[in-house]
Structure 1
Amino acid sequence: MEEQVGALWHRAITRLSERRHPFAAVTLEEVAVPIGIFFRALGGDGGLQVEAAEASAHGARRGFLQRLAGLDEKVELAWRDERSLRLPARIDLFAERALNRDLYIWLAALAAQQTGPTRDWLVESQDQARRTLSRFPGLRPRYRRLLDAHLDLRPDPRALPADERAREEAIRLALKDPGSVTRLPTARRPPYPVVLWLHPDPELPAGACSDPSGGEAQDIDRDAAVESLGERRRRRAERVAMPEKDQGLITIRMENILTWGEHVQVDRGTDEEDDLERARTAAADLDRISVARDRQASGARLKFDLDLPAESEDDLVLSEGILLPEWDWRKGTLCPNQCRVVPLIAADATPCALPEHLRRTAHRLRHQFQALAPARVWQRSQSDGQEIDLDAYLRFATDRQAGAGTHADGLYRDMRKGARDLVCLLLSDLSLSTDTWVDDHARVIDVIRDSLFLFAESLAATGDRFGMLGFSSRRRDPVRIHSLKDFDEPHGAGVRGRIAAIKPGYYTRMGAAIRYSTRLLAAQPGGRRLLLILSDGKPNDLDRYEGRYGIEDTRRAVQEARALGLTCFCVTIDERGNDYLPHLFGTGGYVVIRRPTELPAQLPVLYARLTA
């Protein structure tokens, strides 16, 4: 009975105090793609990804019913850092769905005008709003509607104490006339959140720094890769001292524990939460995750890192490698000799025939690609050939009759096979994430292997010169480049054997792999040279290459390749590819294969379209 009465009371008081409008809600997942395009179109940083912002406690004055129901303690405000544009995962502040959507648009436009870290929240927020309305006057009617709706939600200044009243009136004036207020009056309580402005004091998220023990190995779980935008939130972190092990909760009365503990020991042993769903819910309830260094040696340790195989079990190293530069986007400089690229070739690859399950598809593709092969054409002015070249003979006879000294060379023509002036290099990602499963019956590495098989069979039918490489990395030394087919090597059982021997490697230092491939491809003769990149995820590695650093270095490597006249195109099976690939390759420089199992058949067809 007590539980039923409590549930009824909770529903009743929540209904009375609720100020949100769930039926008019708009989620970030619905608008993430158009908002990202809109943000970049207004001049926003193209390297930022749209992610959900974490709610934070605002500490402002709340009404009696809100305090009684425990509502409106937190608010989701927009902000941006060097990696992401963070927007509320869900907006249901207004009764009209169109207004909630307009708020996403306004916040994205406002963030595009942010020039650096916020030092004076009031002044800089007004400057951002003024610049936005000045540069994009079409947003003024939308801003006016949002302003009227937001002012209705803010507390009435007449009901506030004198100090809070003066501050609320100043904020209202700053919203109505951006730039008119230069100083915010002080008060005992923080002001009511301004949802039309960016976060006044966003803290560095815990995920903003690269985890030296993380990397791609933590992304193996495919379930974690498909979580929604609303779940992809980052937590604020603080470093604290390690608590004493002997101090626990035994002497504390359990009814005094109101929430989950603030300290979360990272290097836990026996006290792990077995219920993963409950652990996720608990983590979502924490505003701040505290991290401490435990200086006591662990009795047992699981080393979550990847060691290179023994030399006897590894691929054959072809050379000591070459040193390549890397782009440091923070400094804006190309740092020389940062990566060592080591070429390898499978030492135990047994020549083999095409797998049985691919033969029918390969037969169909070969017939289709043979149509791309150039027709036989007459080659004129040859020193020897099937027929006399009448035009050349007439010129020779005329010159001889006129007394000009001529030689009887190039008087024949010959029917020969034409050639497309095109060369292609396929660079395939062989990182550890390719060991994941798709559709519960095939691994990503198996899909990539089948794609390479069919790609090679198709291009062999056209006569185009092509090469194939695979790559993975373990920090910047070494970046491993696996040779699958050289440009001058005929396609056959040996190439198939090396393709069959590929296996998941380590991490994805894509910039170094692209620079190495660019050197090889640029040295090949050809009127058109295509660098085709096959990937299943973002660039990353164990070190600082994780995150924005890897994205910007890869983008720079693509720009360098295009400056040499190469065509760079990326094919990915990463369903989040639209978040970062436009920044790397441009809007027309990539394609996302939604169903990975379709990649083997789609890759040759895509090549045909690119080279038509």
Structure 2
Amino acid sequence: MEERVGQIWDRFITRMAHQGHPQAAVALDQVSGQLGVFYRAMGGNSALRISATTATPHRARRSWLHRVAGTGRKVELAWQDENCLYLPASLDLFAEKSLNRDLYFWLAALAGTPLASASPADLSWIVESQLRTCQTLQQYPGLQQRYQRLVQAYIALRPAPADLKHEAAAQERAIQQALISPGSVAELPEGKYAPAPVTLWLHPDAPRSGGQAADEISDRQASQGETRQAEQRRRQAERVDKPDEQGATLGVRHETDLFSFAEFIKMDRSSDDDNPAQAENIANDIDKMSVAQDNTTVASRIKFDLDLPSAQEDDIPLSEGILYPEWDYKKNRLLNDYCRIIPMRSRHAVATELPQHLLKPARRLRRQFESLSLSPQWLRGQYEGDKLNLDAYLEYHGSIANNPSACAADPRLYCQKRPLVRDIASLLLADLSLSTDAWVNDEQQIIDVIRDAVHLFAESLHASGDQFAIHGFSSRRRQHVRFNCIKAFNETYDAGIRGRIADMSPGFYTRMGAAIRHATELLSHQAAEKKLLLILTDGKPNDLDRYEGRHGVEDTRKAIQQARCQGLIPFCITIDDDASQYLPYLFGGQGYTVIRQAEQLPKRLPQLYMTLTGKLCAG
């Protein structure tokens, strides 16, 4: 009974202490797509993705109601680092939904506007915030009205200086003056407590990454009912030594009104006693997570340094390795001979026939692709032909009316029907990293879907007569990038190739830049007029070393740019739900497609190839 009453009281007092407006809340999920475009248009770094921030402690004095409820110690503020722009997962600060939405866009504009003078480290928080505000409004005057509406509504929510003591009142007057007239306040008066956080500005002391430890505790598999932004909240972490198993460490932390105990004790407890919701709440309350090496397994996604199989069981290496450069975006240069590609061929593959469940779709696709080389095509822009191109005719005579001297004497106004010439070489590069071992549904894993897609892709292109090659890749650090040779350009598609496709299996990690460079080298040696590089993946670039995060994204982007410079046409097919966060930066708006239902990949891949090559031949 006491516990039940306590729960009711806790919900009541927490709800009373909350000062937001849930009915007008706007979630980051709802505006993240538009925010990404807006942030980059405002000058933000196009390599950064938008993610949910995490609440951080502040030193401002809490209200009496907050102290009773035990809330209000932390606040979610906007900030950015070299990987992400972090924004609150949800905003319900204002009673009007439009104002909460405007606040998201204002924070994105503020973060996207670089400081034109002085280093932020040389400026105090209040001066830097005013400087950012001034430069944002000067560069984008159209935001002036939106900013004034936000300030007017926001100041009404802040503490009234008349209700505060002398030092706190001076601080609050300075902040409100800085909001109303940016640039008018030179310094913030000192006080016993910090002022109330300013939601309209960026974080005064943004969290910093805990290095690899922070990545290791990131679990991106959301449980049922969680939002994606809540799942991706930023955590601060530090690496510590594992405590002595013979004893336990007990620490005491003195708060303003309570004693609390923090313990680090190794316990052996049945999983039936675990409460995931309680564990998440505890994690949200921790200011900094301490990560120690242990020998136990966990359910979270953690980067493991996997051992390579023995030489007798591993695939057959075809050479000692080929060295390729890697792009270091911080140094803005290529690191020569940095990565080693090891071409490999399956040791255990045996010749096999097409799987039974693919026979029917394969027959249908073969009929479609066989007709490609036989179908004639209308070619526009000809001097003479079978019919007049009405669009070209009207455009030509309209140009004569406007500027007779600028018109060609012999215009190309006709269309001509000719047999389709498909001088195309295509290379399919499949991601075979460990993430493909995940399950799509109760019956199929991602690697099964990829095998089926590659089978149908090969059957289709063999029927069309197009030149094609198929390779897979995975990696274990920069010195071991495995490049699985499934079908080379000079090999004939047969039962042996089908056996290699059937033997594809999940490997290690995804050092995509090196694999793209080697695929570019192979494809550039083909004599075809059009060269298409198809990249099939289920996630973003990553590896055990610093290739995680922005480094991998920047290197992959550089490899794609180099491929385009050699006349190749890169195109990415992905089943990653987060692909819209980074693929536009890598491949451009028209250089990729996202397949939302992974089980549709075998059907969609040949269709995509037909559409892409149809445009190439028409061009």
| TM-score of the two chains, using structure 1 as the length reference | 0.85
Contact 2:50 2:581 in 1 (8 A): yes
The DSSP-based 3-state class of the residue aligned with 2:373 is coil
Q: Kindly tell me: are residues 584 and 495 of structure 1, through their superposed partners in 2, closer, same or farther at Cα, counting changes over 3 Å?
A: same
| Corresponding letter in the other structure for 1:573 | I
Equivalent in the alignment of 2:111 = 111
| Corresponding letter in the other structure for 1:435 | D
| Corresponding letter in the other structure for 1:586 | G
Deviation at 1:428, TM superposition (A): 0.3
Question: How many residue pairs were aligned?
Answer: 562
Q: Deviations over 1:146-192 (max 9, x none)?
A: 10111011111111122221121111111111111121111110011
Equivalent in the alignment of 2:82 = 82
Equivalent in the alignment of 1:130 = 134
* Separation in 2, partners of 1:300, 1:567: 43
Q: Deviations over 1:214-257 (max 9, x none)?
A: 59xx97968699961122112223456766656548999xxxx9
Equivalent in the alignment of 1:27 = 27
Equivalent in the alignment of 1:172 = 176
Equivalent in the alignment of 1:552 = 554
* Separation in 1, partners of 2:303, 2:584: 36
* Separation in 1, partners of 2:220, 2:184: 52
Moved more, 64-73 or 234-243: 234-243
| Corresponding letter in the other structure for 1:346 | S
Equivalent in the alignment of 2:408 = none
Q: Kindly tell me: are residues 312 and 246 of structure 1, through their superposed partners in 2, closer, same or farther at Cα, counting changes over 3 Å?
A: closer
Q: Deviations over 1:445-483 (max 9, x none)?
A: 110000000000111111110111000111011111111
Q: Deviations over 1:108-136 (max 9, x none)?
A: 11110145755421111111111111121
Equivalent in the alignment of 2:343 = 343
Contact 2:25 2:97 in 1 (8 A): yes
Contact 2:222 2:231 in 1 (8 A): no
Q: Kindly tell me: are residues 26 and 264 of structure 1, through their superposed partners in 2, closer, same or farther at Cα, counting changes over 3 Å?
A: farther
Deviation at 1:199, TM superposition (A): 0.2
Give 2:167's match in structure 1, choosing from 163, 177, 199.
Answer: 163
Equivalent in the alignment of 2:155 = 151
Equivalent in the alignment of 2:331 = 331
The DSSP-based 3-state class of the residue aligned with 2:229 is coil
Deviation at 1:582, TM superposition (A): 1.0
Stretches of structure 1 lacking an aligned partner (at least 5 in a row): 378-415
Q: How does 1:467-486 map to 2 (within 5 A)?
A: 467-486=469-488
Q: How does 1:362-511 map to 2 (within 5 A)?
A: 362-374=362-374, 419-511=421-513
Deviation at 1:31, TM superposition (A): 1.4
Contact 2:213 2:291 in 1 (8 A): no
| Corresponding letter in the other structure for 2:469 | G
Deviation at 1:300, TM superposition (A): 12
Q: Does 1:186 align with 2:190?
A: yes
Deviation at 1:64, TM superposition (A): 2.3
Deviation at 1:583, TM superposition (A): 1.2
Contact 2:214 2:235 in 1 (8 A): no
* Separation in 2, partners of 1:127, 1:31: 26
Tell which has more relative contact order, 1 or 2 (C-alpha 8 A, sep 6+). Answer: 1
* Separation in 2, partners of 1:486, 1:438: 29
Deviation at 1:376, TM superposition (A): 8.9
Contact 1:204 1:237 in 2 (8 A): no
* Separation in 2, partners of 1:184, 1:497: 71
* Separation in 2, partners of 1:569, 1:600: 17
| Corresponding letter in the other structure for 1:83 | N
| Corresponding letter in the other structure for 1:187 | G
Give 1:607's match in structure 2, choosing from 588, 606, 609.
Answer: 609
Deviation at 1:203, TM superposition (A): 2.0
Deviation at 1:490, TM superposition (A): 1.9
* Separation in 1, partners of 2:152, 2:557: 43
Equivalent in the alignment of 1:310 = 310
Equivalent in the alignment of 1:61 = 61
| TM-score of the two chains, using structure 2 as the length reference | 0.84
The DSSP-based 3-state class of the residue aligned with 1:461 is helix
Equivalent in the alignment of 2:203 = 199
Equivalent in the alignment of 1:141 = 145
The DSSP-based 3-state class of the residue aligned with 1:609 is helix
* Separation in 2, partners of 1:124, 1:551: 30
The DSSP-based 3-state class of the residue aligned with 2:324 is strand
Q: Kindly tell me: are residues 583 and 7 of structure 1, through their superposed partners in 2, closer, same or farther at Cα, counting changes over 3 Å?
A: same
The DSSP-based 3-state class of the residue aligned with 2:230 is coil
